[in-house]
Amino acid sequence: MKKDKKLIAPSILSADFSNLSKQIRYIEIGGADWIHCDIMDGKFVPNLTFGPLVVKSLKRISNLPLDVHLMIERPENLIDDFISAGADFITVHQEAVVHLHRVINYIKSKNVSAGVSINPSTPLCLVENILEYVDMILIMSVNPGFGGQNFIDSSIKKIETLSEMRETKGLDFYIQVDGGISRTNIKTISNAGCNVFVAGSSIFTSDNISASTAELKNIVN
């Protein structure tokens, strides 16, 4: 069951892009489960990162599932491009989509897993009616746009509430948490009900990328 899993998804936002294939090898050695790809358009969030071309190159160099987090306006316009590039998960922001149910169903119709993300200020009630359709809910524990920020502590209550909602409704989707996760708080986040842990700076800016990946994985499993 998805809800029983404890997976590590390093975010390459903090990786050394001049040595990306080596950096991917390091997280693979450390036991990473997915590769988290932060796509930013400079409009939905105040930062600009990369697009389908980088996702396509990652598909060539790794067998790890590609977890594409779309922090962009009108994500429906680029879903096909990221699917063609090899995305295994596509997560859109509730705040960026007018017809969320339609977009989720479209992603799933292409045999790609569909996720919905909510920002720290967005209440869970805004995704309650689509919980039965998604493969994953991503709770942002920082304001999206940058790595290296501090974990927003009120996220813990949000994770616990979502986990309770999942149980009460008899559903099975991943709860993913993204932002400010490190060895000091990952156990608390796991106990709250998180299944997929996105960590960027605590992995890629550490002295040993493989060891820090393995350490996070050992703490939650």
Longest dimension (CA), the chain: 46
Residue 38 annotated to the active site? yes
| Position among 30, 55, 69, 137 found at the interface with Zn ion (CB under 5 A) | 69
Distance CA 194, CA 220 (A): 10
**Catalytic one of 33, 38, 67, 135:** 38
Candidate ranges 18-26, 82-90, 123-131, 173-181; the one touching Zn ion (CB under 5 A)? 173-181
**Closest to ligand DX5 by CB, 68 or 134:** 68
Q: Are 40 and 49 in contact (CB under 8 A)?
A: yes
Q: Cα 158 to the chain's mean position, in Å? A: 16
Distance CA 215, CA 217 (A): 5
* Residue type, position 176, single letter: Q
**Closest to ligand DX5 by CB, 194 or 198:** 198
Residue 67 annotated to the active site? no
**Catalytic one of 67, 172, 178, 207:** 178
**Closest to ligand DX5 by CB, 13 or 136:** 13
Positions that interact with ligand DX5 (CB under 6 A): 11, 13-14, 36, 38, 69, 71, 142, 144-145, 147-149, 178-181, 198-202
Q: Does 178 bind Zn ion (CB under 5 A)?
A: yes
| Position among 12, 15, 33, 38 found at the interface with Zn ion (CB under 5 A) | 38
Q: Which residues of 194-221 are buried (b: 16+ CB within 10 A; e: fewer)?
A: bbbbbbbbbbbebeebbebbbbbbeebe
Distance CA 3, CA 167 (A): 9
Kindly state the smallest distance separating residue 127's Cβ from ligand DX5, in Å: 17
Kindly state the smallest distance separating residue 168's Cβ from ligand DX5, in Å: 28
30 binds, among ligand DX5, Zn ion, none (CB under 5 to 8 A by kind): none
Residue 59 backbone dihedrals phi, psi, to 5 degrees: -60, -30
For CA atoms 130, 132, 134, 137, give the dihedral sign. Answer: positive
Name the residues that contact Zn ion, by CB under 5 A.
Answer: 38, 69, 178
Which residues are designated catalytic?
38, 178
